[in-house]
Amino acid sequence: MRADKDFRENTRARTETVKPLLQVREIEKRYGARIGCTGVNFDLYPGEVMGIVGESGSGKSTLLNCLAGHLEPDAGQVIFDTRADGPVDTVTMSEPERRMLSRTDWAFVHQHARDGLRTSVSAGGNIGERLMAVGDRHYGNIRERAIDWLGRVEISETRVDDRPTAFSGGMQQRLQIARNLVTGPRLVFMDEPTGGLDVSVQARLLDLLRGLVREMGLSALIVTHDLAVVRLLADRLMVMKDGHVVETGLTDQVLDDPQHAYTQLLVSSVLQV
């Protein structure tokens, strides 16, 4: 946990004044006897991007879904610094409150864009949905903001009335991102956001994500098995193996000087690619 200590020293000045946006404490999820993830602890600060890496089956998605309220953890707390009431444990908050959070301050980008889009609704309607969900009742405003967001994710305004089924995979993923970010969330959960896309499409998407994260000062949790993704996007890394976090630290330090044997294996296998 050496890198983590460095991180704390690096950011000590900040942490004394800034509260964590998310505090994760002893999260555990089991599927029967099988461990999904266990003993997970970390803090995420405003504007920080945390990567969660590890091979397939290591518990990344389980953890992310527990944090985002899609799965109920068997133990632990997920304390989010809400705008209205300050830090609140989202595991025990009421379902309406949690659903409201996921429509406003939280965003979730699925690996498969179709899981996160309404395929029977136009691109504009997809982006506008969250605005309408929080009470925007002015068509002109909603449409203007939908078109603005299409531009920000590099989709032509002329596609605003097309259904996402007519879009390429990369466009669908960008639309999903626009639809999530339109309400100005503070925390974005992403599960393999570039998975399943062509390499060149991936690169463009990563560029775009990096720009948006910086510009909007987003905090994000990005699950991926692709170390290139976290190299580009994440300030900090968490390495998972068999449901446990085996190493955490600043991204460059973990990737360039991995301490845990498993991380060394993970990094070297990538370097060979």
Partner 1 sequence: MSNYNFAYLDEQTKRMIRRAILKGLAVPGYQVPFASREMPMPYGWGTGGVQVSAATLTPEDTLKVIDQGADDTTNAVSIRKFFERTAGVETTEETEQASVIQTRHRIPEAKLREDQILVYQVPIPEPLRFLEPRETETRKMHSLEEYGLMHVKLYEDISQHGAIATSYAYPVKVEDRYVMDPSPIPKFDNPKMEMAAIQLFGAGREQRIYAVPPYTKVVSLDFEDYPFEATKAEHACDLCGAEDSYLDEVIVDDAGNRMFVCSDTDYCRSRRGAGHVGRLAQEEVA
Which residue ranges make up the site for ligand ADP (CB under 6 A)? 31, 34, 36, 54, 56-62
User: How many Cα atoms within 13 Å fall on the side-chain side of residue 9?
Assistant: 7
Residues 52, 230: Cα–Cα separation, whole Å: 8
Contacting residues for 12 by C-beta, under 8 A, at least 6 apart: none
Q: Which is nearer to partner 1, 112 or 244 (CB)?
A: 112
Q: Is the dihedral of CA 46, 58, 110, 99 positive or negative?
A: negative
End-to-end CA distance of the chain: 27
Query: Is 130 among the residues that bind partner 1 (CB under 8 A)?
Result: yes
Q: Which is nearer to ligand ADP, 59 or 249 (CB)?
A: 59
Amino acid at 54: G
Q: Which stretch binds partner 1 (CB under 8 A): 128-136, 151-159, 209-217, 251-259?
A: 128-136
Tokens standing for residue 185 = 């969330």
Q: What are phi and psi of 23, to 5 degrees?
A: -120, 115
- Residue 272 interacts, among Mg ion, partner 1, ligand ADP, none and using kind-specific CB cut-offs from 5 to 8 Å, with none
Query: Is 118 among the residues that bind partner 1 (CB under 8 A)?
Result: yes
Kindly tell me which residue out of 1, 18, 75, 134 binds partner 1, with binding defined by CB under 8 A: 134
- Residue 132 interacts, among ligand ADP, partner 1, Mg ion, none and using kind-specific CB cut-offs from 5 to 8 Å, with partner 1
* Window 72-101: residues binding partner 1 (CB under 8 A): 95-96, 99
Q: Which is nearer to partner 1, 119 or 264 (CB)?
A: 119
Q: Where are the alpha helices (DSSP H) in the chain?
A: 2-10, 12-17, 60-67, 95-103, 113-116, 123-133, 139-152, 169-181, 199-216, 227-233, 251-256, 261-271
- Residue 36 interacts, among ligand ADP, Mg ion, partner 1, none and using kind-specific CB cut-offs from 5 to 8 Å, with ligand ADP
Q: Which is nearer to partner 1, 183 or 248 (CB)?
A: 183
**108: part of which helix (H) or strand (E)?**
strand 106-109
Least distance to ligand ADP from the beta carbon of 254, Å?
Answer: 17
Q: Which is nearer to partner 1, 75 or 134 (CB)?
A: 134
Residues 24, 87: Cα–Cα separation, whole Å: 12
- Residue 138 interacts, among ligand ADP, Mg ion, partner 1, none and using kind-specific CB cut-offs from 5 to 8 Å, with partner 1
Q: Which residues bind partner 1 (CB under 8 A)?
A: 95-96, 99, 103, 118, 120-122, 124-125, 128-130, 132-134, 137-140, 142-143, 160-161
